[in-house]
Structure 1
Amino acid sequence: MPSLPLTLVVITRNEAAKIARCLDSVPFAAEKLVVDSGSTDDTVAIAQAHGARVIHQDWLGFGPQRNFATTQGRNDWMLALDADEYLSPELAEEMQQELPALMAGDLAAASLRRHTLYMGQPMRWYRPAMGEKMARLYHRNRARWSDARVHESLRFDGRSITFKAPFLHDNNPSLVEKQLKVLLYSELKCRDWLDKNKPVRMWQTPFVFALAFLKDYVFRLGFLDGWRGYTIAQTAASYAAYKRMRYYEMRRNPASRDSAAAALTRSGLDH
């Protein structure tokens, strides 16, 4: 497949089981760039074996890490994927056909539709797993990632389009990995709230839990995916409540911030 002046960017840490599939799904990228923040497994060696240029950068937070990675590419056009994501063959073909004309114009960014595999199988009804639009292709002089430590987003003002075929997300191989990610993401989100001096509103927590569960289980049609849909809704609601409880603790007991950071580091969950 002919290459295009595009840099595939993947930020990693200990993604040896997934990185090859991600890199191989974009055969038309002229450059594959992996920005690694200290893997202790075979991520770096596997990435290099699959054609990636690997550079090290200590963890900055998701938004800043992506912005750093953007500056390291050799092309102005960037495609950002996570290690547990990969293009479907249909999307790879669509992008190969459409990108030359799009990249020659004034496009700022493009969104891709993400389909999620959960507990080893595709979701069938849960709406966020059935084509969630995510801006992942962008011109680095026309777009920038937000500086959020977690739940970052691509910001741009120019014209954008959306590709039709999906890319795939092999979400959390087990609930264990999911719960570990909840701990990390909650800590990062609370740090952002501290920076902004967000007020503590613990009274909202029970209502936030209930509304988050209803949103995912009922309004986003999780109930149609059976017990997998229930699990997704319950996990999302627990995350929404836990990060508020953790923020309350951070404000009430500031010493817990350093204690938690040390515990995450000991467990290898600091990023």
Structure 2
Amino acid sequence: MQKLPLTLVVITHNEADNIARCLDSVPFAAEKLVIDSGSDDDTVAVAQAHGGRVVHQDWLGFGPQRNFASTQCSHDWILALDADEYLSPELATELEQRLPELMAGPGPAAILRRSTVYMGRPMRWYRPAVGEKMARLYHRDRARWTDARVHESLRFEGSAPTLDAPFNHANNPTLVHKQLKVLRYAELKCRDWLDKGKPVRMWQAPFVFLLAFVKDYVFRLAFLDGWRGFMIAQTAASYALYKRMRYYEMCNNPDSVRLASAALTRHGIDR
């Protein structure tokens, strides 16, 4: 397969179970760059065995980590995937066909569609898990990730085409993994709020869970995916409520930031 002047970038920490599938799904990338933040499993060895060039960088937060990765690439055009994501054969073919024209033009980025596999099966109806649009292909001089610790996004000016075929997301192999991720993401989001001095609005708490659940379960069609849809909606609503409770605690007991960080680190969640 012809190599294209493109760098695949994956940020990792203990992703030995996922990284090979991710790297192997992009055979046309001239460079595969893995930015690892100190894995203590076989992530680095597996990545290198599957063509990845591994660079160590202590964890900076999702946005800063991705921006650091952009500075380490050998090519200006970058495809950013998470370790638990991988291209479908259809998208790999589409990218091979469309990338030369995209990279030759003045555009800053392209939008990809993401399809989520949850509890071992693809979601069929839940809107954020079926064809979710995400900017993941970009020119590093024309786009930049926000500096958010979590829930970062790619910022650029101008229009970006949307590709048709999806890439896949093997979302949290178990509910245990999901709950651990919720703890970590909530902590990072609350630290961002703390840095910005966001007001504490606990009066919203009684409504947050219900509104978030109804939004996902009804309006985003999670109910059509059966009990898996119920679980996704419940988890999302719990996350929305927990963030606000945790932020209230941070503001009223500042030492809880240090104590929680130490606890999460002991369990391998914070980094």
Residue in 2 that maps onto 1:114: 114
Structure 1 residue 130: Cα displacement: 0.8
Size of the alignment, in residue pairs? 271
Q: Which residues of 2 match residues 107-256 of structure 1 at below 5 A?
A: 107-256=107-256
Q: Deviations over 1:201-225 (max 9, x none)?
A: 0110121111100010000000011
Structure 2: segments with no counterpart, 5+ residues? none
Tell me the SS of whatever aligns to 1:26. Answer: coil
1:55 aligns with 2:30: no
CA distance in 2, matches of 1:219, 1:225: 13
Q: Deviations over 1:104-141 (max 9, x none)?
A: 00010011000000000001111111100000000000
Q: Deviations over 1:68-120 (max 9, x none)?
A: 00000000000000000000000000000000011000010011000000000
Structure 1 residue 11: Cα displacement: 0.1
Residue in 1 that maps onto 2:11: 11
Structure 1 residue 159: Cα displacement: 2.7
Structure 1: segments with no counterpart, 5+ residues? none
The one-letter code of the counterpart of 2:251 is R
Structure 1 residue 226: Cα displacement: 0.5
Tell me the SS of whatever aligns to 1:9. Answer: strand
CA distance in 1, matches of 2:126, 2:134: 16
The one-letter code of the counterpart of 1:50 is H
Q: Deviations over 1:37-78 (max 9, x none)?
A: 000000000000000100100000000000000000000000
CA distance in 2, matches of 1:117, 1:141: 33
CA distance in 2, matches of 1:95, 1:131: 16
TM-score by length of 1: 0.99
TM-score by length of 2: 0.99
CA distance in 2, matches of 1:212, 1:159: 31
Is the contact between residue 142 and residue 158 of structure 1 (CA under 8 Å) also seen in structure 2? no
CA distance in 2, matches of 1:23, 1:162: 22
CA distance in 2, matches of 1:148, 1:264: 19
CA distance in 1, matches of 2:113, 2:23: 18
The one-letter code of the counterpart of 2:233 is A
Is the contact between residue 13 and residue 37 of structure 1 (CA under 8 Å) also seen in structure 2? yes
Q: Deviations over 1:151-181 (max 9, x none)?
A: 0000000231110000000000000000000
